[in-house]
Chain A
């Protein structure tokens, strides 16, 4: 019987390979059905003027949807809002999570656990419930923020937090921030706990300060976690939808539209499926490029 270089017979290798693929098959089926196929359909439909209607015929229009996108002021506004959310939320979430994790990781285990639970609560609480509570707090007529600010004499008239274009997007970013820090904090606490203590002790023996230990030893060791958090937070920020849908519906005057919300608006309110899909493709490309850059930067600093 012929043997492969690893000493296994070819028949055995074939059998193991087949078994391997068979084990992969269920997840492959779901991946193709629910990820690859919709992705292909999204790209395909984006090339058509596709609208709702039993007798509506999809007309091939090539890249016209994409051309229209970059002349659509509302889409460009939504893209700008999305980028603002990403640029503000991603660094602040990462920095805050790292700061909190560093502060609580050396505490008594019970205290560390308590803080982890506190920060993780908004993550496990339903987004609708969280949003409703925030909506009450922001309420123009009886919200606690106006009550406190007026009580402190900082404002004379109530501020319509979600109804004023000056404040609405920032209000959403604050909620996004509070619901996004839970998971990174838990991950950072875990990553900091796994830092090789012998390296830390060696550095301290050599006279390194706490700051030097953090940046020279710990930061390098938690880099994969940081990379993961950056990518996940970036994707979540790009895909910000539920908050917008529940709080402002993109208003006032499209000032809180994000690309994800505008996709929904175009497809489900205006019934323009092809155009909505073109936006989805553009969003996918942007996220893919940013994620690739983040991975590249993460690798080069390893």
Chain B
């Protein structure tokens, strides 16, 4: 009896082991890792999008993992080295094209770009998704222009609002200096040039580049030009400006928090995602209820060039054609189909194309006053230079350069040392 029982038990176990194989269907499982790109960092929002995708494509199952900017790169790098990279990743060309793509880990998805895409997607965005050899490592979904923000009530209290053009959301360098002067009389912490590292660098770069119309790289995106006369002049202005403090103890996220708390009067790390944030108060208000106004970075000629944020999907080459095909299906569904409007709205950013599958994407936020107002900044979108080689190394060195300058180091020497290092990394 005992033997019979043991035999039956063994059979059940063998059957149980074999069952998944015996009944396995052709479902392809893929993983998507996403950085917190607006609502794409929120599991409730993404679950809805993925469920809709899986309903349309029953042969594909998508598992999503969420990365943070603080340590996301480390996690991806570790996964790559451990041969456990995700199948799909969502981020911008500076990571997908200039870093992991350039290092050979991504699948060339140039075949996803059909003629309609080339017509519908903004040329500056399309260019950022390809490398010099014509390989594409990113298929874009959404974009925004990064800007800065000011606490309007504080500006009004000291009469500094006269320097803000609230209609066009622009101001000049002279306006900025005058406003800081008035604000600093009331608050020693008008603004912080945050330089603790880990993200938000677009804010400090755009601030410095715009003040005297400098550039961060050359037009061909082959070498760094942050030590140009214009940039050095801008850095010297900021170092000497009472009320603007270089702070190596805070990162971009801290700066946003300090601005919302009313400690700082301005924030340099801002975009529509932050403007729509309503965690502690209604969107567009600080925690204390002061009005937040998005502004372009001040420039000497009054014509700003804002740093762009482009986000989309890339595929890691994990050696499985089935997974690559499934990943491509996912990308096309999210970024080039009737479902694209929802995928873009989930990001809280703007579409990179005017239409998708005959659905008009140019006006998906109709009726949303904040989005409509923010869209005034989009025409100021400047060159997307973040695809210059050696970007990851240069980005790390950028913080260190600001820390040194804030600590009293010679501006010209430090900026020169930065460019020497960054250009060596770029092979320029």
- Chain A residues at the B interface, C-beta cutoff of 8 Å: 52-56, 138-142, 157, 160-163, 165, 248-249, 251-254, 265, 268-271
Contacts and interface: CB of A to CB of B under 8 A. Distances in A.
Contact of A56 (B103, B188, B249, B261): B103
Nearest to A264: B74
A157 B242 CA distance: 14
Given A140-B249, A160-B247, A253-B407, A54 B392 contact: no
A252 B406 contact: yes
Given A160-B247, A251-B197, A54 B77 contact: no
Given A53-B103, A141-B189, A253-B407, A163 B250 contact: yes
Interface in B77-104: 77-78, 80-81, 103-104
Contact of B103 (A54, A138, A252, A268): A54
28 contacts: A52-B80, A52-B103, A53-B104, A55-B104, A56-B104, A138-B249, A140-B249, A141-B189, A141-B258, A142-B263, A157-B188, A160-B248, A160-B249, A163-B196, A163-B248, A163-B249, A163-B250, A248-B248, A251-B195, A251-B196, A251-B399, A252-B195, A252-B249, A252-B403, A252-B406, A253-B400, A253-B403, A268-B77
Contacts of B407: 165, 252-253
A249 B196 contact: yes
Contacts of B393: 269-270
Q: Which of A53, A162, A249 has the most CB of B within 10 A?
A: A249
Given A54-B104, A163-B247, A253 B396 contact: no
A249 B406 contact: no
A249 B189 CA distance: 23
Nearest to A160: B249
Nearest to B103: A53
Contacts of A52: 77, 80-81, 103
Contacts of B400: 251, 253-254
Given A252-B406, A268-B74, 5 more contacts: A140-B247, A157-B188, A252-B195, A254-B400, A270-B396
Contacts of A140: 247, 249-250
A240 B219 CA distance: 43
Contacts of A251: 195-197, 248, 399-400, 403
Given A52-B77, A270-B393, A249 B103 contact: no
B198 interface: yes
Interface in B282-319: 317
B305 to A, nearest CB: 28
B375 interface: no
Contacts of B228: none
Contacts of A163: 196, 247-250
A54 B393 CA distance: 18
Q: Kindly list the 6 A-B residue pairs having the minimum CB-CB distance in the complex, ordered from nearest.
A: A163-B249, A54-B104, A252-B248, A162-B249, A53-B103, A252-B403
Contacts of B248: 160, 162-163, 248, 251-253
A161 B104 contact: no
Interface in B224-266: 247-250, 258, 261, 263
A300 B49 CA distance: 69
A196 to B, nearest CB: 51
B380 interface: no
Contacts of B406: 252
B247 A269 contact: no
A160 B156 CA distance: 29
Nearest to A162: B249
A5 B43 CA distance: 70
Contacts of A271: 77, 392
Contacts of B404: 253
A269 B198 CA distance: 11
Nearest to A251: B248
B249 A248 contact: yes
A53 B263 CA distance: 43
A48 B74 CA distance: 22
A271 B99 CA distance: 11
Nearest to A52: B103
Contact of A161 (B198, B249, B263): B249
Interface in B57-82: 73-74, 77-78, 80-81
Nearest to A142: B263
B246 to A, nearest CB: 8
Contacts of B81: 52
Nearest to B396: A269
B105 interface: yes
B403 to A, nearest CB: 4
Contacts of A269: 392-393, 396
A54 B105 contact: yes
Contacts of A162: 248-249
Contacts of A268: 73-74, 77-78
Contacts of A248: 196, 248-249
A64 to B, nearest CB: 17
A161 B249 CA distance: 8
Interface string B201-230: 000000000000000000000000000000
Contacts of B105: 54
A237 B302 CA distance: 53
A252 B401 CA distance: 10
Interface in B153-210: 188-189, 195-198
Nearest to A55: B104
B263 to A, nearest CB: 5
A248 B196 CA distance: 7
Interface string B387-418: 00000110010011001101101000000000
A264 to B, nearest CB: 8
Contacts of B104: 53-56
A230 to B, nearest CB: 33
Contacts of A138: 249
A140 B403 CA distance: 16
Nearest to B194: A163
A251 B246 CA distance: 13
A190 to B, nearest CB: 38
